[in-house]
């Protein structure tokens, strides 16, 4: 059993994934952390030194590796992971997937105070952030909607989201 969490940045994938994995007694893997460990570079450094194409290729390779492992696990993806290569097809074929769906306003509220931890957000600037989120969500929605289940996360705490997932799986 593989459970994959997908959705836009700041939708709660990693936080929810940790709690879900603990409740199900499964291993938790954050794909971005896994990539950083394997590549010995931060995601920002990979983008900076090797470019997005290299990153997306490696991201797909590492996702395949995790999906093909025999252990059961909960995997949280980067926001863009489902949108590249055959990643969404693999997710659909090899896991039960949950789209943690957050509104533009919810994402904006969560991101506006995290600009230091999120280089992408810092580069965009707070005044352009809402428009950026809206554009990205519009582009990525068709991929996210391919998940087995969609959980609306606005105004819910982490345990409410996890409980809802446990009912659906």
**Strand 2-6 to strand 27-30: parallel, antiparallel, or no bridges (unpaired)?**
unpaired
Position 142 scores a pLDDT of 96
44's CB contacts (< 8 A; 6+ apart) are: 119
Quick one: how far is CA 38 from the chain centroid?
18
Count how many domains the chain has: 1
The verdict on residue 166 lying in a domain is no
Position 127 scores a pLDDT of 87
Which tokens is 54 given?
């290299």
The verdict on residue 169 lying in a domain is no
Q: Residue 63: give its domain's CATH number.
A: 3.40.50.300
CA–CA distance, 123 with 20 (Å, rounded to integer) = 32
Position 48 scores a pLDDT of 87
Position 68 scores a pLDDT of 96
Phi, psi of 61 (to 5 degrees): -60, -45
Position 119 scores a pLDDT of 65
The verdict on residue 67 lying in a domain is yes
The verdict on residue 168 lying in a domain is no
CA–CA distance, 92 with 113 (Å, rounded to integer) = 33
Q: Three-state DSSP class for 100?
A: strand
Q: Give the range of the structural domain holding residue 21, as residue numbers without chain letter.
A: 2-161
Q: What is the pTM of this model?
A: 0.94
Are 31 and 77 in contact, with CB atoms under 8 Å apart? yes
Collect the ranges in the chain with pLDDT lower than 70.
Answer: 115-117, 119
The verdict on residue 54 lying in a domain is yes
Quick one: how far is CA 1 from the chain centroid?
18
């Amino acid at each position: 059993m593989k459970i994959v969490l997908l959705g836009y940045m700041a939708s709660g994938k990693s936080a929810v994934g940790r709690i879900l994995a603990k409740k199900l007694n499964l291993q938790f893997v954050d794909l971005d952390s896994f990539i950083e460990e394997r590549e010995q570079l931060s995601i920002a450094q990979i983008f900076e030194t090797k470019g997005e194409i290299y990153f997306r290729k490696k991201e797909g390779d590492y996702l395949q590796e995790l999906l093909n492992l025999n252990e059961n696990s909960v995997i949280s993806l980067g926001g863009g992971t489902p949108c590249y290569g055959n990643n969404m097809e693999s997710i659909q074929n090899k896991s039960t997937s949950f789209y943690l769906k957050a509104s533009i306003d919810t994402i904006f509220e969560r991101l506006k105070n995290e600009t230091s931890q999120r280089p992408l957000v810092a580069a965009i600037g707070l005044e352009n952030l809402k428009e950026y989120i809206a554009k990205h969500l519009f582009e990525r929605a068709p991929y996210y909607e391919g998940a087995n289940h969609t959980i609306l996360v606005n105004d819910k705490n982490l345990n409410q989201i996890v409980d809802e997932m446990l009912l659906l799986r």
